[in-house]
Amino acid sequence: MNNTTNRGKVIIIVAPSGAGKTTLAKRLLKEHPSIRFSVSATTRPPREGEKNGEDYYFLTDEEFKRRIKKGHFLEWETYNGNRYGTLQSEVDKLVESGYFPLLDIEVKGALNVQKIYGSDAISIFIEPPSLEVLKNRLLNRGSETDASIKRRLERAEMEIEYAEDFDYTVTNDDLDTAYAEIQAIIEPFITD
């Protein structure tokens, strides 16, 4: 753990589906012990192997709604019929312990978190080199239907419009190059 007199910064990484955000985030977590993933809450059921409090906080819809009313979430949204949200208590606990919480969230929620934490946040938008490249990446996954690819591309177009609202934009044309750019952004703040 870091010296508790040092407050960590919140690292917000945002990207359209297929832009490489998860791969880049996992690498940051692996290489920087002071960066910790902020565990989100969801109403979807756990998938095989997922653990409560590790992968997500699995909440009932009623509990999620109760926490919304009490203002516990920094951001939340409904996606594919399930709710997902970032608990402020989780983020604050990590920051106050000197860690750098990593949030992997959607655009509008990220803008809200950025507003709440201000200079205590670093926001990075990962963009694909083009929508055509993004489409090919989604196709190569082999797990997407034509309809889901269409929805993801429409959402990506909307999300890319917000790129300039973030502190930094990194184009992921090459994973190692994009990672090096992210490293250069966060290195002045991170204390491993």
| Residue numbering of the annotated binding site for ATP | 15-22
CA distance 3 to 10: 16
CA distance 26 to 95: 19
Confirm if 75 and 112 have CB atoms less than 8 A apart.
yes
